[in-house]
Structure 1
Amino acid sequence: MAKSLLFIPDISGFTKFVQTTEVAHSQHVIAELLEVLIEANTEELQLAEVEGDALFFYREGELLSQEKLLAQIENMFTAFTGHLKLLEKNRICPCKACATAPKLELKIVAHCGDIEFLEVQGNRKPFGKQVIEAHRLLKNSVESDNYVLISKELSSDIELPIYYYSKVFRFKQGKDTYDQKEVEYIYSIIDSNKLNISEYSKAKEVVFDKPPGIVFDRNFAIPAESLLEYITNLSYRHLWVHGVDKFEYTENEVTRLGSEHICVINNKHLNFVAVKKKVKPGKYVYGEMTRSIPIADTLYQFYTISPISENSCSLKIELYWETKSILKKLLITLFAKKVLMKNTKTGLDLLFKLTEDSRSIPSSK
């Protein structure tokens, strides 16, 4: 029987990450990163299982060539590192989970051997001695949390030299003992600076040369971070934004600069994207921009939160709009501004009532 490939990307630091940060946001960050790794599976490996912070891939009865295996490994490290940089640069949330996410690392273990399969409720999962061995290789003596480890058996079968090196890889020999059996492997610590990270979308800072068209202020008897969560967490949005039939957004994602969502009103889809503007240090700001409303070319809405004490803060809501049409400017002055003021005031009142009713830090998305 031809050997099968066993391939396990594992996010390093997950346990500590969850134990020392806000659990819900950390779970969403990990979920995002796992999705990134799955999308980076360019060799169409079969996904057997999501194992918490790791993915268990396999290819039945076939090994990848050394060129394809190394390309697959590099592709996953590149995608993973690129997404961490995106999270770092476009972060809105100040919580520990979002702040420490860029410190997460990745290790990949690749092994091979004869495997059997267990089928439960239509799900086919590899099992056997080699599967156990592959998972045990995750616990090794490599002095890093950002590396690839390839078993000696696999490296021999695909004729990957023990001391192979390139711009990204520089392999060394290693060995560990499992159940009184010595297992040899080669490994390469990955320097993220050597990866060819593609340009990712950075949120553009918005600058205005005029005062806002609408401003509302209100104090809240909850911590500033909690109010920011109520505003940025789109799962709360239906509780305080009046007149929207539904909100469409990516549920397994912590809102960040560049995040998009859709408001559906009377079957009309209004597209919004998260943006930023400068605020004084110590304040939190979240903004949204849309070009979908008919009365203006662009509409911006910013929420600026200023801590007052440990359990209180003030919120300033500012609306800006831009239009080149004289007719639209007239419509805004005569009609639309009153509607925007009414809707914003209603939303602010509902948001205040929501926080008053809860009076506790909301659960993250």
Structure 2
Amino acid sequence: MAETNATILIPDISGFTEFMTTTELSHSSRAIHMLIDAMLNAIGEEYEVSEIEGDAVLLIKKGPAPSKKEILGICLKIFNAFHSQRMWMQQYTICPCGACKAIINLTLKFIVHYGPLVELKVGRFVKQSGMEMIVAHRLLKNSIDSHEYLLMSEKLLKQVNDSTETADMVWGNAFEEYASIGKVGYHFALLNEARKNVPAPQAPQSYYRKDSTPYLQTTIAANFLDVYMVIMNIPGRAEWMPGLQKVEQDMPDICIGSLHHCLFENHQSTISPLLMISSDEEINYAESCRIEEMNISLVYEFVFKKVDEKSCHFSVRFMNAAELPIPEETRGILLENMQRMAEKLKLFCEK
């Protein structure tokens, strides 16, 4: 077993357990995957990714400890990537489920420690272990009254030089008493101000021109959220939408701006979500639709209004998004297709 000194860095997502146990599992898992992926991209090759532990990333840097300035720099880089991705997901999601709404509650903290580690090779995997690894993980449970902070153990700080670049952060001193370990001292700084400085992602381009085109309306014997989720699942529309054979898309997620290429029996259309506004009683959703064969650009608006837990009012309309008017023959075809779509949606949801 090889032993080496190393810096242990653990970015840990706070609120993860509650998030995963009180929200939709598939959506919460996907959200955490996207956030961790953003963090890993920010890390680059500065640290070795030893393990991904569900809500945390275990990072190792062998050799002498980096400076306090370098530690602060990598932590803020990860912090900014995490919150930029979180804000992007909030702004661009079209899903009203509990998981996608609860992304706003996720926060990030950092534990940094230093000491000798033992490398264990298990099959083709290499795992670091030892007392200092245990200490680093125990430090995740501490008495700091915040969910976002940077904690550096005293053992780490004995190896690094202080720097003026970290002087503008307010540092506190504390210690924890752990069974079988004893007293562990540390310094910490809250990241409240750092969060205010996270670069905001570019806002989605969701504007479109509206007109007085009437809605086609019907009542569906299904929960309004369930009906919306059927419409929102653009790849799944091939299961019920008349004439739709398959859907191909440029990315796995469905969000504002994502492109979905729909192959129908006699034409192709490219659909892209524009906006979603939700409340406890109603959801408004809009998407663009480009049909090259007909040389038309449309915006479809959908409204889902709750009647009770088992029924809702469904409304849909299309509007011309181009400068040239839609020919009457083409408009007639589009109206007929929309009527058939509403009928099939009603049958599918009520089953």
TM class by shorter-chain length? 0.7 to 0.9
Give the 3 Å change call, closer, same or farther, for CA 36–277 of structure 1 in structure 2: closer
1:261 partner amino acid: L
RMSD of Structure 2 on Structure 1 (CA): 3.1
Alpha-carbon distance in structure 2 between the residues aligned to 1:95 and 1:188: 34
Q: Deviation of residue 181 (structure 1)?
A: 1.9
Q: Deviation of residue 77 (structure 1)?
A: 1.6
The TM-score normalised by the length of structure 2 is 0.85
More strand by share: 2
Alpha-carbon distance in structure 2 between the residues aligned to 1:295 and 1:17: 46
Matched, 1:333 2:328: yes
Tell me which residue corresponds to 2:309: 310
Tell me which residue corresponds to 1:363: none
Alpha-carbon distance in structure 1 between the residues aligned to 2:158 and 2:125: 31
Of the three residues 27, 30, 37, the one matched with 1:28 is 30
Alpha-carbon distance in structure 2 between the residues aligned to 1:47 and 1:227: 42
Alpha-carbon distance in structure 2 between the residues aligned to 1:283 and 1:61: 57
Alpha-carbon distance in structure 1 between the residues aligned to 2:10 and 2:171: 18
Tell me which residue corresponds to 1:273: 272
Of the three residues 101, 110, 113, the one matched with 1:111 is 113
Task: Answer yes or no: is the 8 Å Cα contact 1:78–1:195 preserved in 2.
Answer: no
Task: Answer yes or no: is the 8 Å Cα contact 1:205–1:278 preserved in 2.
Answer: no
Matched, 1:283 2:285: no
Alpha-carbon distance in structure 2 between the residues aligned to 1:101 and 1:34: 13
Deviates more, 1:43-52 or 1:200-209: 200-209
Give the 3 Å change call, closer, same or farther, for CA 186–310 of structure 1 in structure 2: same
Structure 2: runs of 5+ lacking an equivalent: none
Tell me which residue corresponds to 1:352: 346
Alpha-carbon distance in structure 2 between the residues aligned to 1:165 and 1:237: 56
1:237 partner amino acid: R
Give the 3 Å change call, closer, same or farther, for CA 294–5 of structure 1 in structure 2: farther
Tell me which residue corresponds to 1:298: 297
Q: Deviations over 1:58-77 (max 9, x none)?
A: 22335433322211111122
Deviates more, 1:285-294 or 1:177-186: 285-294
Q: Deviation of residue 318 (structure 1)?
A: 1.5
Tell me which residue corresponds to 1:361: none
2:331 partner amino acid: K
Tell me which residue corresponds to 2:147: 145
Q: Deviation of residue 91 (structure 1)?
A: 4.7
1:60 partner amino acid: K
Tell me which residue corresponds to 2:53: 51
Tell me which residue corresponds to 1:68: 70
Give the 3 Å change call, closer, same or farther, for CA 162–139 of structure 1 in structure 2: farther
Task: Answer yes or no: is the 8 Å Cα contact 2:173–2:188 preserved in 1.
Answer: yes
Alpha-carbon distance in structure 1 between the residues aligned to 2:306 and 2:20: 27
The TM-score normalised by the length of structure 1 is 0.82
Task: Answer yes or no: is the 8 Å Cα contact 2:6–2:63 preserved in 1.
Answer: yes
Q: Deviations over 1:158-186 (max 9, x none)?
A: 223699432xx322212112224211111
Give the 3 Å change call, closer, same or farther, for CA 155–289 of structure 1 in structure 2: farther
Q: Find the residue that maps to 1:35 and give its secondary structure.
A: helix
Tell me which residue corresponds to 1:262: 260
Task: Answer yes or no: is the 8 Å Cα contact 1:244–1:263 preserved in 2.
Answer: no
Q: Deviations over 1:64-104 (max 9, x none)?
A: 33322211111122222233333444454333333332122
Tell me which residue corresponds to 1:362: none
1:324 partner amino acid: E
Alpha-carbon distance in structure 2 between the residues aligned to 1:154 and 1:183: 11
Number of residue pairs matched?
A: 345
Tell me which residue corresponds to 2:98: 96
Alpha-carbon distance in structure 2 between the residues aligned to 1:190 and 1:9: 13
Alpha-carbon distance in structure 1 between the residues aligned to 2:224 and 2:281: 10
Give the 3 Å change call, closer, same or farther, for CA 235–208 of structure 1 in structure 2: closer
1:170 partner amino acid: V
Alpha-carbon distance in structure 2 between the residues aligned to 1:314 and 1:262: 26
Q: Deviation of residue 250 (structure 1)?
A: 4.2
Give the 3 Å change call, closer, same or farther, for CA 249–62 of structure 1 in structure 2: farther
Tell me which residue corresponds to 2:172: 172
